Structure 1
Amino acid sequence: MKTVLFVLVSFLAVTALLSGIMLISNPDGKIMNLSVSLLEGTPFKDFTIPGVLLAVLVGGTNLLAVFFNLKRQAGRYNWALAGGIFITGWIIGQLILIGASHWLQAFYLVIGILVILIAYQLKGKWAV
């Protein structure tokens, strides 16, 4: 389970950081085949702030989870748990603000839930 968790948080870190950087550098979203019209009815006029939030909260937290897992430090599962909570919250926020618009939302929601469950298990909070 440790390896599965490491692979999942590594995947989340890389994809969230790259996606966040792409959104920051191209706030119109075209580089990711997104339209600013997706943001109608949200507090955002373009993808800059969502890109920063994605890179920092989701990408940064999962990158710290990767780092602390490599170092085998005591709080490594807490960082993974936080990373799972952030990606799950990110996707739920997307679903609330813009609705379901792509299959990747379900994909990342499942990954987030898996990270939460595996990290919680590895913390020793429940036995399976």
Structure 2
Amino acid sequence: MVASFNALSAVGGGAAVLLTNGLGMPASMLKGGPFASFLWPGIILLVVVGGTQSLAVGLLLARRPSALAWTAVAGFGMIIWIFVETGIIRGLSWLQALYFTTGVIEVALVLVLLGVINGPFGAGPGAPVAAGFTRPASTSVRDGR
């Protein structure tokens, strides 16, 4: 499950950044950005990114109606986090590319499960919604047209 991977990574990464004051990254990486230290980035990664990912995982496991919405929020949150992070440090690593990709995959899977886009296994507009989930009332899907 992509959300589980993201949740573990964000919670673990945020905690590690806080406990080590940046995991050995120089504070100069933050120069010119809004943060003077790794304290707030660590808190945001742990609480906001890790929290939304963890919430999405919990709701998915419980098969709650709001699970897909929260998974989309978590996926978009991951994408936004990576955009902001790469802008602040003015660089890109393979890890950032990986987490950007997992955020995009999360959002894409939600869209496939809701039948909004075609998936690799034929799910798409008009297809049945994934078992245990319901299509939002605001989604309009034409039958076979």
CA RMSD of aligned residues (A): 1.2
Structure 1 residue 34 displacement after superposition? 1.2
Answer 1 or 2: which has greater helix percent: 1
Under a length normalisation based on structure 2, what TM-score does the superposition of the two structures give? Answer: 0.77
Name 1:125's counterpart in structure 2: 116
Structure 1 residue 85 displacement after superposition? 0.5
Structure 1 residue 84 displacement after superposition? 0.4
Runs of 4+ in 1 over 3 A off after TM superposition: none
Which residue among 1, 18, 27 is the counterpart of 1:24?
18
Under a length normalisation based on structure 1, what TM-score does the superposition of the two structures give? Answer: 0.87
Q: Within 5 A, what are the aligned runs for 1:42-121?
A: 42-121=33-112
Gaps of 5+ in 2: 119-123, 125-145
CA offsets per residue over residues 61-96 of structure 1, 9 Å max, x none? 010111001100001111110110011000000122
Which residue among 16, 31, 48 is the counterpart of 1:40?
31
The one-letter code of the counterpart of 2:31 is E
Q: Which has the higher contact order (CA 8 A, sep 6+)?
A: 1
CA distance in 2, matches of 1:83, 1:110: 13
The one-letter code of the counterpart of 1:8 is V
CA offsets per residue over residues 9-29 of structure 1, 9 Å max, x none? 0000001001111112222x1
Report how many residues are paired.
119
CA distance in 2, matches of 1:24, 1:33: 11
Gaps of 5+ in 1: 1-6
The one-letter code of the counterpart of 2:37 is D
User: Percent same amino acid at aligned positions?
Assistant: 32
CA distance in 2, matches of 1:55, 1:119: 23
The one-letter code of the counterpart of 1:125 is V
CA distance in 1, matches of 2:51, 2:93: 24
CA distance in 2, matches of 1:79, 1:43: 28
The one-letter code of the counterpart of 2:100 is L
